[in-house]
Homo-oligomer: A and B are copies of this chain.
């Protein structure tokens, strides 16, 4: 290969001349490692020589941990590792909540960027990166029903680009209140979970479509786009989105992706509000989805409950899988209502009750549990 002093020199030279903005962060905090997971313990560290006190707050406990100031102004605390899962945490420096500046793993929950703590183990093994990774795309579709251009995330499995004659089933995966189209990719680790399950042969390769379930939004608030005015007392408010899902998003996906355009190759699942969208979409449009998985939601008794379920039963389905946490007070009661209604209507179903409450460690667990059951 030809000698290229100029090019090599230029590349190295300007690597060193990069934006001061960009590099300051690296140089300042290079020696601090946080969090450090080792031998059943986790150590958190913060370089904050100016601080009077520093505490650690994490979503695995209500306790706040006092951190101790060590040499060079680095505060630290070592705790017993919580059980394998993904958690979020932050520091409290003289009363002010701040993120850990050296932890590059960040998840977004609604409008907040949260530091992520990954504790490896059997339960969390599918939440980590594996070697065969799908593509995650931010895609826009025009909604005539809502009158706006809207963003969704689309996961296509490893091999999608290569296997140009293969068609795939589709899971429509819906977020909850306060969330948006990125919730399942960020907090939910949906891409990692599907990558792992597919690589291990536990789930069939599938497309996963994660729309924005807030009908007044074009996209996540973090995109800075104006919202539209909706009369939330108008019954159309709830149905407009699920109608757009079935009448606009499904046709868009089946036109633009190699999706199998059949009910037996469509699944729908959602958490909390998205669980409401799941029961709503399947009742309004029975027979559209053969796989139905409402999470942390359940249903309320009503005059129309049995008729709606009979509509779903008559149209046919392959899986009705319900997930809920035993500490999720409201959703647990409504899950029991849904479970009883499915039973009295003679509908085969699975009700999966986990520990814990209305939280992402449950929603990741549910996706990891039901995805292997789809399209088989």
Taking Cβ atoms with an 8 Å cutoff, the residues of A that contact B are 1-23, 25-26, 48, 50-51, 59, 93-99, 101-102, 104-106, 109-113, 116, 118, 129, 131, 133-140, 149, 151, 158, 161-162, 176-179, 220-225, 235, 238-239, 242, 255-256, 272-273, 275-277, 279-281, 283-284, 296-300, 302-305, 308, 330-331, 334, 358-360
Contact = CB atoms under 8 A, between A and B. Distances in A.
List the 3 closest pairs (A to B, CB-CB), nearest first: A18-B177, A22-B178, A7-B280
Of A22, A221, A277, which is in contact with the most chain B CB atoms at under 10 Å from its CB? A22
B138 A273 contact: no
Q: DSSP majority for the A interface? A: mixed
User: Copy number in this complex?
Assistant: 2
Contact of A176 (B9, B19, B48, B158): B19
A15 B133 CA distance: 32
Contacts of A225: 129
Contacts of A133: 140, 149, 151
B302 A5 contact: yes
B359 A21 contact: yes
Given A14-B177, A21-B109, A140-B135, A7 B273 contact: no
B109 A113 contact: no
A128 to B, nearest CB: 8
21 contacts: A7-B238, A9-B302, A10-B280, A13-B276, A13-B330, A15-B276, A17-B177, A18-B179, A19-B109, A19-B177, A19-B359, A19-B360, A22-B177, A22-B178, A26-B111, A50-B95, A51-B95, A113-B113, A133-B149, A140-B158, A162-B256
